[in-house]
Amino acid sequence: MIENVPFCGEFIGHVHHLFARVYFADTDFTGVVYHARYLEFLERGRSEFIRLSLRNHKELANGEQSEKSGWVVHKMAISYHKSAHFDDILNIRTSIIKMGGARLVMAQKIFREDVLLVSAEVQLALVNSQGFPQRIPDEFIESWNVMIAGK
């Protein structure tokens, strides 16, 4: 099953699933994933979510429609429930909780099979190249709303 999942993950309903293997470099000397590495797994999940759900993601970053802008983490609350280990296959699940203005709030969970390892709520802000907040473009909000509605 996992062998057939696309490299950038896939949406099942409105939840994005990205699979990642735990490498030795992700662990401490006991083979347990180091706590800060989960932030990297979560980042990959958010990045692939945005890449698949926004057709204009590169245009936004390159400033093709207006000024250059990108997503930055504004706030994160994370809970560690269980440990992942060397060679585990993780399922990083990402979904939108709410969106408006310049902010986007996402729920993220990391599972090993059906075991919840990590949960996080992440607030992102869309900022321009000078670091000032920008409103999320209407076409992005519309595309997310269509995706969430399953249309």
pLDDT digit string, tens, across residues 29-77: 999 999 999 999 999 999 999 888 765 667 777 776 678 888 999 999 9
Residues 6+ apart with CB under 8 A from 35: 80
What pairs with residue 78 in β-bridges? 120
In a domain, 77, yes or no: yes
Is 70 inside a domain boundary? yes
Domain that holds residue 142: 10-149
Of residues 83 and 139, which shows the higher confidence score? 83
50, part of any domain? yes
Beta strands 115-128 and 103-112, pairing class? antiparallel
User: For residues 7 and 98, which has the higher predicted lDDT (pLDDT)?
Assistant: 98
Whether 62 is in a domain gets the answer yes
**What per-residue confidence (pLDDT) applies to 63?**
73
Residue 4 forms part of a structural domain: no
Of 63-77, 83-97, 101-115, the poorest mean pLDDT is in 63-77
Return the CATH number at 86. 3.10.129.10
- Choosing from 26, 28, 87, 88, the catalytic residue is 28
26-35 long-range contacts (CB < 8 A, ≥24 apart) are 26/84, 26/86, 27/85, 27/86, 31/85, 31/86, 32/83, 32/84, 32/85, 33/83, 33/84, 33/85, 33/88, 35/80
28 is annotated as an active-site residue: yes
Is 65 a member of any domain?
A: yes
80, 33 contact by CB (below 8 A): no
72 domain residue, yes or no: yes
Retrieve residue 52's tokens: 């698949």
The pLDDT of residue 7 is above 70: yes
Q: What is the pLDDT of residues 113-149, one digit of tens each?
A: 999 999 999 999 999 999 999 998 887 788 777 766 6
How many domains does one find in the chain? Answer: 1
In a domain, 89, yes or no: yes
Q: How confident is residue 150, by pLDDT bands cut at 50, 70 and 90? A: low
